[in-house]
Amino acid sequence: MFPVAIKDNVYWVGAIDWNIRDFHGYSTYKGTTYNAYLILDDKITLVDTVKYPFREELLNNIRQLIDPARIDYLIVNHVEMDHAGSVQYITDLVKPEKIFCSPMGQKNMLAYNLSPDYPYEVVKTGQSISLGKKTVQFIETRMLHWPDSMFSYLPQDKLLISSDAFGEHWATNERFDDQVDMAELMAHAAKYYANILLLYSPLVQKLLAEVQKLGLEIDMIAPDHGLIWRGNPGAIIQAYDRWSRQETAQKAVVIYDTMWHSTEKMAHAIVEGLTREDISTKLMNLKVNHRSEIMTEVLDAKAIICGSSTLNNNILPTMADILTYMKGLKPVNKIAAAFGSYGWSGEAVGQINQYFEEMKFTLASPGIKVLYGPNEADLQNCAALGQQIGRMIKEQVK
């Protein structure tokens, strides 16, 4: 690739990863990008690096603008390997005068075994550095999504370089939001939020308030993954406000796995009940849906209904996977119910309910258990449960 000017003397110099399909357990079926930015000023500054295998792409982009040895400052907004994985390589190569990072950034780079002799310069929220004509102001964003995370803001350019916030996994050769389909872009951004940031929603709310309080004028947001928000940066800020308040729609997700189709029949009957109440419903079989796709649907769903047969006195392993994952991401204020068929012991429904209780979901019913195969009456019960939940959703979500 080649560098792309995003502002006067500010360039995207990152890398596009067209091939990645599994990003630490998150399905990236359309790849991703690792964005890094080069600021040309009296002090030439590189903001973030890229995942290690892409370091030559980064350098190649920089070389088309300047000799990389001229880089004076390196800013590390986040120490995760997809952004800081080339910090050691770049530092040894260009020997920057300073490496700016948050207090936790320094601590965590040392914990990643980077040399303690590097010229770290710790910065905190509100601190600024002058690059010559341009200034960079830092805003710590602890736990959004790691303890070391921070934003770099260029007031003269009204540019917020936002690290992992406001990004999405989507490999494109377009660099800006106004060059791609908005609906698809927002879908990727929602998936990113649901799978990476949902559990920190209370902190997102605080951060949005803090950004407002600091009075930052923002006309462009440049995240470390995916597209740069140039045409409509307000759209992603508003979406983050909505998602972090965990606003829901009149929507349900029915998640299940099945051994001999009994639990599956129950799932279909529940969907039928929800459909009779006009509730938008996603039926997600765990054998064919990735956990990160399911979480994306959970994000704005009001009801989560989970079904599993009982296998060896337990829920099916796929159900344990999604419930463990979901619990960690801390969705709140959901209506829930469990269902499943069994042959003799039938522990699955109770075990799913335990997860629901830990997540403080409201149980719509104690759950439906069916011995071996559901008969007509069982399926009617399932449909009735779907309808009952549908009515609850309509009462609670206007």
**Site pattern 64..103 for another protein (x: CB under 8 A):** ----------------------------------------
Please say which residue, 200 or 356, places its beta carbon nearer to another protein. 200
Beta pairing partners, 7 = 10
The type of residue at 79 is V
Would you count residue 147 as binding another protein (CB under 8 A)? yes
Helix (H, G, I), strand (E, B) or coil at 318: helix
The one among 110, 143, 180, 359 contacting another protein by CB under 8 A? 143
The one among 58, 104, 150, 160 contacting another protein by CB under 8 A? 104
Q: For residues 62 and 143, what is the distance between their CA atoms, to the nearest angstrom?
A: 30
Crossing angle for the helix pair 317-329 and 348-358, to the nearest 10 degrees: 10
Q: For residues 37 and 173, what is the distance between their CA atoms, to the nearest angstrom?
A: 16
Would you count residue 140 as binding another protein (CB under 8 A)? yes
The one among 142, 245, 282, 327 contacting another protein by CB under 8 A? 142
| Residue of 193, 225, 257, 277 with catalytic role | 225
Which of these segments, 12-20, 138-146, 186-194, 278-286, binds another protein (CB under 8 A)?
A: 138-146
Query: Rule CB under 8 A: which of 298-337 touch another protein?
Result: none
Could you confirm whether 378 is annotated as catalytic? no
Would you count residue 171 as binding another protein (CB under 8 A)? no
Which of these segments, 142-150, 260-268, 288-296, 370-378, binds another protein (CB under 8 A)?
A: 142-150
The one among 66, 171, 186, 203 contacting another protein by CB under 8 A? 203
Tabulate helix, strand, coil % of the chain (nearest 5).
40, 25, 35
Helix (H, G, I), strand (E, B) or coil at 233: helix
Could you confirm whether 247 is annotated as catalytic? no
Would you count residue 200 as binding another protein (CB under 8 A)? yes
Rg (CA), the chain: 24
Check if the beta carbon of residue 73 is closer than 8 Å to that of residue 96. yes
Beta pairing partners, 267 = none
Please say which residue, 147 or 155, places its beta carbon nearer to another protein. 147
Would you count residue 138 as binding another protein (CB under 8 A)? no
Tokens of 107: 């601590």
The type of residue at 39 is I
Tokens of 52: 């290690």
The type of residue at 178 is D
List residues near another protein by CB under 8 A: 104, 140, 142-143, 147, 200, 203
Catalytic site positions = 24, 78, 80, 82, 145, 164, 192, 225
